[in-house]
Amino acid sequence: MLWDIFCRVIDNFGDIGVCWRLSADLAARGHQVRLWVDDGSALQWMVPNANLKGINGIEVLHWEQSKDAQQLEHRRCADVWVESFGCEIAPEFVAAYASPTGAAGQFDSKVPVWINLEYLSAQAYAERCHGLTSPVMHGPAKGWAKHFFYPGFTRGTGGLLRESDLKKRQFQFDADRWLKQQGVECKASERLISLFCYEPPALPQLLQQLADGSTPMRLLVTTGRATCAVQTAVLYKNGLEPLWNERGALSISYLPALPQTDYDHLLWSCDLNFVRGEDSVVRALWAGKPFIWQIYPQDDGAHREKLNAFLDMLAAGPTLRQAHLWWNATDVATQRYLLPWETWDDWQETVLMCRQRLVQLDDLTTQLVEFVEKKGKI
């Protein structure tokens, strides 16, 4: 099938990251994908071989091109339209294929299956709303319908993105070799922690705990906001207490921008992963390592309920739950919280048990294709 996937970038790692993984998984299964994105700059490092032109069955197009009737005249109507994360397809695009007088006069009366791909949540509404239909009430596409597709963690939802060769790649992975390729030389006694975050208020406390511990720790910091946050925190701590890391128990390695496959490798290499947003928490689950998730904060505080629902799904014990609540707190200035390093094995067991449950479910791409085939009778 031919798929049109639309992406408006808000978080330039999350939105485009999920859309590219979906596009790549569809292409790997023999489908053709046109990815319409308003800012594809992150693909330059996220998928270096794509070069913003597309690769292996994926064509990358700028969002503005979806408004150009002349361009659309030469493009057949796709079998599937996917609006990711609440973005809305340009009215010009809809008119080109839905209107009898539109640019696509060759339209063969087969209505595309129109999917609204929603945000990931473990909350109950994901099951209630998954698969629901919303009729289009006005405009050239009046009488058509959109279908809500909710990723999720239960059989009543659309599942999670998971490539068919993921297990094989993990089995064949050599962490020591990969770390050396990244220029990271680790001591045998060091424990490795990856850090992909926004600007958590608890970050200075985390750095101090790593510096005060009896076990050498190496923090592998991802590029962008995480690097800026760590460098700002280190500068601040050096000003207050120049010898805060006097014993050198904490080592910090700043990583370059990592392609998606190498971000997976980072998670597989570490003893503990700090992740953020939607895409990386799913990758942390598949990695099967202990992790702490920084959920995207919302002004109305709705993220707290979403986080608690996720922790319930994870069957997180008291220490893992407390660690998440500490890391996601907006005011930790007066808190004196110590991460219980001795519980890492328990945390890993929790993640592995959750992963075992989740791999029993059909992955998101499989479910999405089956849903489209059923709705479109393709």
Residue 278: active-site member: yes
Classify the phi-psi angles of 248: left when phi > 0, otherwise alpha if psi is within -120 to 50, otherwise beta: left
Residue 279 structure tokens? 């895409």
**How far from 371 is each of 19, 119, 131, 378, CA to CA, in Å?**
18, 18, 8, 10
For residues 51 and 270, give the distance between their C-alpha atoms in angstroms, rounded to a whole number: 29
Catalytic pick from 118, 278, 279, 363?
278
Residue 15: active-site member: yes
Cβ neighbours of residue 69 closer than 8 Å, sequence gap 6 or more: 92, 96, 102, 103
**How far from 78 is each of 5, 26, 43, 96, CA to CA, in Å?**
10, 14, 23, 12
Q: Is 165 helix (H, G, I), strand (E, B) or coil?
A: coil
For residues 173 and 269, give the distance between their C-alpha atoms in angstroms, rounded to a whole number: 9
Residue 66 structure tokens? 């979806």
Answer for the pair 311, 276: CB distance below 8 angstroms, yes or no. Answer: no
Catalytic pick from 15, 25, 79, 264?
15
Return the sign of the alpha-carbon dihedral for residues 100, 106, 108, 113. Answer: negative
What amino acid positions are annotated as catalytic residues? 15, 278
